Amino acid sequence: MRPALTFLVLLPLLAACAERASPPVNSAAVHILSPADGDTVPADVVVRLGVTGARVVPATGIRVEAEGHHHLFVDADLTPADSIIPKTDGIYHIGSGADSLLLQGLTPGRHRIIARFAYGDHVPMPGVATDTVWVIVR
């Protein structure tokens, strides 16, 4: 087959391949690995965390793309996504780069724990999904 004719035969196939949608890109997300949603826990409980699509490092005060650290909101609402996460009651900064935190002295009853991932300057990393679990302390 001549080169020009081969090109004309293959052109529709190439165009069909180009029109296919790219596979979806997995988004970054923080995960509460334990306790699980609905678990009954003691007043002192270790919360274990993970993240996909980013790397956990100690907080340095500097933004580095795809690097950050964990924060927990215990019975506290999330703060604005474009603001520094404050150090107030119910908000725990895990700036050491650890992937777990011992919550101590939770009162009996139902508690909400939200995990959020942030840059080294404590501003939430955009596009990283949060995770929420509800636990019952007996």
- How far is it, in rounded angstroms, from Cα 118 to Cα 30? 10
Multiple choice CATH, 29-137, 3.50.50.60, 2.40.100.10, 2.60.40.10, 3.40.50.720: 2.60.40.10
Q: Is the pLDDT of residue 1 over 50?
A: yes
Q: Which pTM was predicted?
A: 0.81
- How far is it, in rounded angstroms, from Cα 98 to Cα 96? 5
Summarised one tens digit per residue, pLDDT across range 48-88 is 999 999 999 999 999 999 999 999 999 999 999 999 999 99
pLDDT for 19 equals: 43
- How far is it, in rounded angstroms, from Cα 57 to Cα 99? 10
Given pLDDT bands bounded at 50, 70 and 90, which one contains residue 27?
confident
Q: Is the pLDDT of residue 138 over 80?
A: yes
**Domain residue ranges in the chain:** 29-137
pLDDT for 8 equals: 44
Q: Is the pLDDT of residue 34 over 90?
A: yes
Given pLDDT bands bounded at 50, 70 and 90, which one contains residue 11?
very low
With CA atoms as reference, report the closest residue to 99 among 34, 44, 43, 39. Answer: 34
